Structure 1
Amino acid sequence: MVYRQFSRSVLFKLGGGDPEVAHEQVLRGLGRLGAVPPAVDALARVFGPRTPRTVFGVRFPGAVGLGAGADKDGTALRAWRGLGFGFVEVGTVTRHPQPGNPKPRLRRLVESGAIVNRMGFNNAGADALAATLTRQGPPGVPLGVSIGKSKVTPVEDAVEDYRYSLRALHRFADYFAINVSSPNTPGLRGLQDKEQLGELVGELRREVEALAGELPPTPLLVKIAPDLTDAAVSDVLQVCADHSVAGLIATNTTLGRDGLAPADREVGLAEAGGLSGRPLAERARQVVSFVTAQTGGELPVIGVGGITDADSAARMFDAGASLVQLYTGFIYGGPPLVRAVNRVADSR
């Protein structure tokens, strides 16, 4: 409550109220925090997890991770552990640097606990992220790298685009998230179709095996949209089984606008882009539950979407999630939310 009433109100006023500018300012501040290891250690003792777990061969100090998009270019990489996160996912990163879609492209829907974004994979590119990770060193928790298709790359050339980023970042990643589900890059969601996804995942699987040599290959995860039908999710699961995919991330943002508060409905309907936050919670849980049922719990799932308090986190774990990620919920709930979700995870 203190965070909501005081800290959040101050943070939301940064950048003159522009949410993207505010986000960038917060990242820079967290970057400075990360340069002071004793401060990070002290915060981690307050907000951090207590119960580690091993999922798809990776040992996580806690089950709550920072979702992709929050720190695309690794600006604040070493600070996130101090805020309670047990793993961090950077990106989505693309082969080519790109500015993303025209601004403004980020809108808070405060009454709904939601955000609409049409960022368009704005990032400095795979080579720049590799340089940043080299300079900063390990973040102290497992690192996931979300990779996507560059906007300038035709869909028919997507495989090589993903493969380039995987090669550039392989030595840093504890796992790779194959993002084929953002609604803000033209043609990207078509890569979720069974044939195209099979080709992409198969090639990336061969690549990580070649790069690993005699070591276990880096786990590959697929991130899917909440807007897929059950039949389409089943097709994705078949591809995952065919190519030894290590896990699924469910879900990305939605093009739907169900669940908006009345005060946000007009603005939400007018804004193009993907919706995240509390209105996505039920659909994200449904997808996680469906995947768990279809695979008998054999395919680990990272649940993401609408986790805004301990209760919504508990329901996501109950649906079958092995790990969870926060992004929009963290913007509204701050480190106290991370601590609350960690306590839920520690109790399971």
Structure 2
Amino acid sequence: MLYDLARPFIFSVDAEKAHSLTIAGLKALPLGPAPHSDSVLATTMAGLHFPNPVGMAPGFDKNGEVPDALVRMGFGFAEVGTLTPRPQTGNPKPRIFRLPQDRAVINRLGFNNQGQDKAIPRLSRMRRRMAKGLLGINIGANKDSDDRIADYVIGVKNMAPLADYLTVNISSPNTPGLRALQDKGALEELLSAVMEARGDDRPRDDRPPVFLKVAPDLEPADIEDIVDVSMKQKIDALIISNTTISRPDLLSSNKQETGGLSGNPLKSLALQRLRDFRATSGGKIPLIGVGGIASAEDAYARIKAGATLVQIYTAMIYEGPAIAKRINRELAKMVKRDGLTSISEAVGADDK
């Protein structure tokens, strides 16, 4: 209710400035301990134990400034980044556009971040404050890099000791040529280098699971190739999906802005891609569902379609900071309503 009252003021401010003010507020305000999650929501994936399946997607906390605050807001895990080896300013402003009539956002940020060197000491401190919830670190390549695969290798070596899991992000539409790394040959070369950099000879605490984040704008042959390479390289999970460059029927006046579209219009496409990856992999690789999730019903649909975990971001812009608590509370009711003892029993229920 308080957020509903504040939203008109927040929306009167430039979107990127409002986001910066939000991060500053979360750094300054005492939020108290992380809320208790109903035990039926606890789940395990890639050897990690999540108190609940609802995470914050990357893009919100690009520089790893507030993952502890996000956990205190009710998220079971927070994924920070995308972090690149060197700082970069990203694309020219303005580059974030709200689409209120569509409950959506278009962004063309371009991996703007302060760089991994600046994030490392900050995330080292954060790790000690995250008694509950897990920390994911999303890594990417610099726009002007001469060797993007080398950038991901640097990211693995820099961030692995700090992360509960690492995400290799090759799905942003806002770095020219980045999505080409989803092509089979390039993907095989990339993931082979990434997994070698993670190293089976490293201590387990420095050898986190590796997830791969892909775009929703894929053809069936692309999905088959990604699954084939990911399983061959023993990637621990796939994140389905990032923003879309497609433009479904939109109502807002700024719908033609270039960049990646997120929020409600992405929901059906992201759900279908999740089903496609589930079918193609035969359920043999864990999936994380992202895109257009704004309610417990949306999250549960994604879980029943095969996702072990879900992530949100754009919905919080429209629904407010209590969204994770609300989704978790309602998810627990749905699990019990269906006679299940754990939400993990619902994963892939649509297959049965």
1:225-277 deviation per Cα after TM superposition (whole angstroms, max 9, x unaligned)? 000112101100001111000000000000011042x3x1x4212x0100000
Does the CA contact (< 8 Å) of 1:146 and 1:177 recur in 2?
yes
Unaligned runs of 5+ in 1: none
Q: Paired residue for 1:30?
A: 26
1:103-140 deviation per Cα after TM superposition (whole angstroms, max 9, x unaligned)? 00000000101000000000011111112112334333
Alignment partner of 1:98 is 2:97: no
- DSSP 3-state at the match of 2:234: coil
Q: Which amino acid aligns with 2:175?
A: T
The 1:44–1:252 alpha-carbon spacing in structure 2 relative to 1, beyond 3 Å, is: same
Equivalent of 1:239, from 210, 226, 229? 229
Q: Paired residue for 2:153?
A: 163
- Tell me the distance in 1 between the aligned counterparts of 2:201 and 2:158: 11
Work out the number of aligned pairs and report it.
331
Q: Paired residue for 1:143?
A: 135
Q: Paired residue for 2:296?
A: 310
- DSSP 3-state at the match of 1:71: coil
Structure 1 stretch 22-31 or stretch 49-58: which is displaced more? Answer: 49-58
Could you tell me how far 1:338 is from its partner in structure 2? 1.3
- Tell me the distance in 1 between the aligned counterparts of 2:258 and 2:32: 37
- DSSP 3-state at the match of 2:87: coil
Could you tell me how far 1:296 is from its partner in structure 2? 2.1
Q: Which amino acid aligns with 1:142?
A: L
Q: Paired residue for 1:11?
A: 10
- DSSP 3-state at the match of 1:40: coil
The 1:325–1:145 alpha-carbon spacing in structure 2 relative to 1, beyond 3 Å, is: same
Q: Paired residue for 1:133?
A: 123
- Tell me the distance in 2 between the aligned counterparts of 1:214 and 1:325: 25
The 1:6–1:183 alpha-carbon spacing in structure 2 relative to 1, beyond 3 Å, is: same
Identity rate, percent = 39
1:197-241 deviation per Cα after TM superposition (whole angstroms, max 9, x unaligned)? 111101111111256246793211110000011210110000111
Equivalent of 1:328, from 306, 311, 314? 314
Structure 1 stretch 127-136 or stretch 105-114: which is displaced more? Answer: 127-136
The 1:49–1:148 alpha-carbon spacing in structure 2 relative to 1, beyond 3 Å, is: farther
- DSSP 3-state at the match of 2:222: helix
Q: What are the within-5 Å matches in structure 2 for residues 134-283 of structure 1?
A: 134-138=124-128, 139-140=130-131, 141-154=133-146, 157-210=147-200, 212-213=202-203, 217-260=207-250, 262=251, 264=252, 266-269=253-256, 271-283=257-269
Does the CA contact (< 8 Å) of 2:266 and 2:291 recur in 1?
yes
Q: Which amino acid aligns with 1:8?
A: R
Does the CA contact (< 8 Å) of 1:28 and 1:76 recur in 2?
no
Does the CA contact (< 8 Å) of 2:67 and 2:135 recur in 1?
no
- Tell me the distance in 2 between the aligned counterparts of 1:188 and 1:8: 34
The 1:292–1:216 alpha-carbon spacing in structure 2 relative to 1, beyond 3 Å, is: farther
- DSSP 3-state at the match of 1:322: strand
Alignment partner of 1:44 is 2:35: yes
- DSSP 3-state at the match of 1:176: strand
Question: Which protein has the bigger helix share?
Answer: 1
Could you tell me how far 1:12 is from its partner in structure 2? 2.5
Q: Which amino acid aligns with 1:234?
A: E
Equivalent of 1:61, from 43, 51, 73? 51
Structure 1 stretch 180-189 or stretch 210-219: which is displaced more? Answer: 210-219
- Tell me the distance in 2 between the aligned counterparts of 1:8 and 1:211: 50
Q: Paired residue for 1:86?
A: 76
Alignment partner of 1:72 is 2:71: no
- Tell me the distance in 2 between the aligned counterparts of 1:171 and 1:188: 25
Could you tell me how far 1:49 is from its partner in structure 2? 5.2
- DSSP 3-state at the match of 1:177: strand
Q: Which amino acid aligns with 2:144?
A: V
RMSD of aligned Cα (Å): 1.7
Q: Paired residue for 2:348?
A: none
Q: Which amino acid aligns with 1:44?
A: P
Does the CA contact (< 8 Å) of 2:210 and 2:236 recur in 1?
yes
The 1:133–1:60 alpha-carbon spacing in structure 2 relative to 1, beyond 3 Å, is: same
Structure 1 stretch 188-197 or stretch 304-313: which is displaced more? Answer: 304-313
- Tell me the distance in 1 between the aligned counterparts of 2:209 and 2:77: 14
Alignment partner of 1:292 is 2:282: no
- Tell me the distance in 1 between the aligned counterparts of 2:108 and 2:289: 22
TM-score by length of 2: 0.90
- Tell me the distance in 1 between the aligned counterparts of 2:201 and 2:166: 13
